[in-house]
A and B are shown apart, each in its own frame.
Chain A
Amino acid sequence: MNKNLPLVLLVLAVVWVACTLAPSAASGPFDLAEFGRLPILADGRIKPLDTIARTGLLMLQGRQRVVAPDGRQLTPDAWLLDVFFRPEAADADSVFRIDNSEVLTLFNLTRSDGVGGVRFSFNQLQAGLDELDRQGRLAEPIDNAARTAFQRGVIELREHIGYYDRLKFSLEPPDSADFDADLSDAGRLAAEHAAFTTMDTLSSLRVIPPAAASVNPGDWESVGHSMLSAAAPAEVDPHVRLYALLGHAWRNSQPDVFAATLHGYREELLRRFPAALRRSDAEAFFNRAQPFITSLFLYVTAFLLAVISWLVWPEALGRAAFWLMGLAFAVATAGILDRMWIEGRPPVTNLYSSALFIGWGSVGLCLILEKLHRNAVASAAGSLIGFGTLVIAHHLSLSGDTMEMMRAVLDSNFWLSTHVVTVTTGYASTFLAGFLAIIYLVRGIFTRSLDGRTADALARMVYGIVCFATLFSFVGTMLGGIWADQSWGRFWGWDPKENGALLIVIWNAVILHCRWGGLVRQRGLMALAVFGNVVTAWSWFGTNMLGVGLHSYGFTDAAFNGLVIFVASQLLPIGLAAVPRSKWRSPASAGGAA
């Protein structure tokens, strides 16, 4: 049995991955997935409505799942349809996450009023919105860094309410009982003119495709904008009617009308915008498959298997861990490639994608290391880093669309792909060396499993990875200098992010020189490598928290706390390295004598 175990586990995992890719069974009579695939223009790019629904929900409440007041589970697309066409129903869904208790007092609410103590509905908040707005205006002029938790909470909730309001004004005037009928009534159209003006200014969703054969994405229009130029029913854009008809069908439970309308529209889109449709379909598929979540679970399993393999069944469990990590890596690779294709960009474009790529690079290196050494150490380190970076990526995705457009100064595929990818590989390998070192220290001090052979193999791995990290972090940093010289005339400007990258290079150089100079042996090497994690974490996140320089992207309290906790967690193994070798549970070997 134990011989076939790796194969059995791998087959099970592959079947599970295949299940996540299969189209989900329809949860009701309406073809929601088809609606979610409709392309629109928002935030400067064509994307499916499904992305709007999911990023919107992630931003408002930190998760994609919605539970209606009657206990039904809503898909993100169903929620979005409610927001568009049945706002009175959407207002009852608890989709506003409020973590700060002081903010709740503005609405005379307590934790017990919310779903899970943190999620509240628009209806619950409505009475206090004026006070929220007043508090928001009081907090606005204060520098973000100087705001209290309450003020930040107020600003955030106010933005979320604003976002939700804008969504409601996207397709129909919220006060209209039946917009589909209004469109054929000249009197109603005239009466709603003011509402169209509001919709035009508020909504950022441009759902109406260009009229003629225009392929310029700038010609997509919002419903409000389109309606401003339609004085009579005859002048209404057919696509406005189409969305109104969808709304009518949704409200009145007519799945057949809904499906037929969608079908007709897709035929038109397929004829006129085949490329845009392909991409938005791919993105909707990507959204639903959630390859990074799949990969995250596989990494956890691989990590557990690798650690257990040090205690029992080293051969079988070690191989199973290696294979599962390989599968997780393959899924993550597919996800990254899919993103690259949708965006038409190199893999790293923002902090979110850097997290994906750091994990990917580390795991890739670990697959090679594990192939060479076969002691499940690289599998453990790789799956741990893979898991950690995906968790970080998930938290970064809560701030909105992760495929945002690039600002002009960054809009260069050549430099993005060379500088950013190389420097991110440098980050990844520095982390990897640090995590391998932690495994060395923990296993050596607390278990008897670190025999001389494993210790030496680990020392070689860490040394090799530090060399690799030195090369890549240096090349990446210098390519950044060259990019800066090409774009704004200075090779080096001592910007925080530049300094951060330089710190990684210097620290790796310190490790190498200490080792070459005989200033440290195995134990010291490990302690230095763990500190590399601290330096890299600072460079990756800490520098963005200063709020100065060209690379600052803004940050959250949670990220700051996370950084502090991470640094503390790294200082612990460094302290452990000070325990003399003779006190370790693993016996000292010839190579690790110091």
Chain B
Amino acid sequence: MTPAIPTAPAKPEPSAAAPRPARRSLLRSLGIGLASLRLTVTLLILSLVMIFTATLDQVHLGVWGVQQKYFHAFFVMAKLPGTDLSLPVFPGGYVLGLALLANLITAHVWRFRLSWKKSGIWLTHFGLILLLIGEGLSGLLQRDGQVRLDVGQTRRYVESFRENELAVSDVTDAAFDQVVAIPVERLLGQATIQHPKLPFTLKPIAYFPNATLHPRSQMTNPPPAVATMGDGTDLIAESAPITYKPDESNWPTAYVELTGPEGTLGIWLVSAILEEPQGFIYQGRTWQLALRARRDYVPFTLTLGKFTHDIYPGTDIPKNFASTIQLHGDDGRIDRSVLISMNNPLRTGGYAFYQAGYANNDRTSVLEAVRNPSWLIPYWSCALIVLGLVLQFGLSLSGFFRKRAAAVRSVPSSP
């Protein structure tokens, strides 16, 4: 006996059923189109192509560059050869994600009936919707940075990996600093920046997202210095292409002119390359200028007590890194010692701190800090999807075995 094999679709697609185009409203045809499995398959294949291309492109752009170009973008843009014109050439992660979301939701509203047999599919798809939303939220909400700590050092802020700021600090008072932080994006325009806490205005003269600094004394025929004040009077900033390589950094650099009511105070060269802030005195108060990684202040302090870096004997393969951190909350309610090691992060105050690396002959511990309010969503969605898939395939498997048992019973002599 040959059992009937359900190779044909268990449920024919609505569009394949006898259509009555004349009476079909626009909404209805739109719904059918959006809910169709053809669209699902098309979108999945488009995602496949996009992910594959993006993976190949990582060789040139690095992981972060690829995320910006493909996954966290509505469209993948490409320059028309020979021009500066960028054209969308392929749907990006946002478009594909949203389209899949729309397809899934419409399909459920339009086509699926609640039934025990469909419960697995329901759960799986609901989990998938949640997963897509979660990934979208992560893209929008996640902020990450690092905390570099020498043994004994205390920090109360997280430094961004890629975002920078121009910090103008009034350090006259020994007890505290008053800082005005200007995102470097504001330096892109030529508009003068005025702030109520600053007795002078700042005017960006030039801004380079990445630059190298050359001492004028070492150049043959050096051009005249742009900076008139501070450490940059003997330096020339030269613009450099933005790098995406994981082992290289971009060094944002700018020339800014400070102007008080009585006229210009001079032009300063500020750059992330210059580690020390540049100080000057104006109207009896001491000021500092620094272009640095953006700082997000947290309501607690981290103090590095001890850092250990184990290797396997006779090799240089790292076995474990661990930082002993004293955690102290501003409200005085938290004061404890925690051990952060590989696969063992510290979660506190909405942040998670991970052991990321080390520097400085094991004297400096580098912690990665991530804040993502939606970090639990993938856990929930995965649980739902797994449950759904197990239910779905379990039901078909038990159906298969029931049929098989029936077949064996009806033809006992069959091998």
Residues on A facing B (Cβ under 8 Å): 41-45, 204, 206, 216-220, 372, 374, 404-405, 407-409, 411-412, 415, 452-453, 456, 459-460, 464, 467-468, 470-471, 474-475, 478, 481-483, 485-496, 499-500, 502-503, 506-507, 509-510, 513-519, 521-522, 525, 538, 543, 546-549, 590-592, 594
Contact = CB atoms under 8 A, between A and B. Distances in A.
A277 B62 CA distance: 46
A510 B41 contact: yes
For the complex of A and B, list the 10 residue pairs with the smallest distance between their C-beta atoms, beginning with the closest.
Answer: A44-B312, A517-B37, A518-B9, A489-B370, A218-B313, A478-B382, A408-B318, A44-B315, A467-B393, A491-B378
Given A471-B393, A510-B44, A489 B144 contact: yes
16 contacts: A44-B312, A44-B319, A405-B317, A471-B390, A471-B393, A481-B382, A488-B354, A488-B356, A489-B345, A513-B44, A516-B9, A516-B11, A517-B13, A517-B36, A548-B58, A590-B2
Interface in B280-307: none
Contact of B9 (A453, A481, A517, A592): A517
Nearest to B71: A494
Contacts of B59: 546-548
A566 B175 CA distance: 69
Nearest to B1: A453
A489 B352 CA distance: 7
Given A415-B343, A452-B2, A516-B37, A500 B144 contact: no
A347 B340 CA distance: 28
B8 to A, nearest CB: 6
Interface in B1-29: 2-3, 5, 7-13, 16
Contacts of B58: 496, 546, 548-549
Interface of A: prevailing SS: helix
Contact of A478 (B2, B372, B378, B393): B378
Interface in B47-72: 47-48, 51-52, 54-56, 58-59, 62-63, 66-67, 71
Best-buried of A41, A415, A491, A507 by chain B (most CB within 10 Å): A491
Nearest to A46: B313
B343 A372 contact: no
Contact of B313 (A220, A481, A500): A220
Interface residues of B, number: 73
B357 to A, nearest CB: 10
A206 B318 CA distance: 19
Contact of B314 (A206, A519, A522): A206
B379 interface: yes
A408 B319 contact: yes
Contacts of B142: 490
Contacts of B332: none
Interface string B350-382: 001010100000000000111010010011001
Nearest to B245: A548
A518 B17 CA distance: 12
Given A467-B393, A548-B246, A475 B386 contact: yes
Contact of A506 (B44, B319, B345, B389): B44
A420 to B, nearest CB: 14
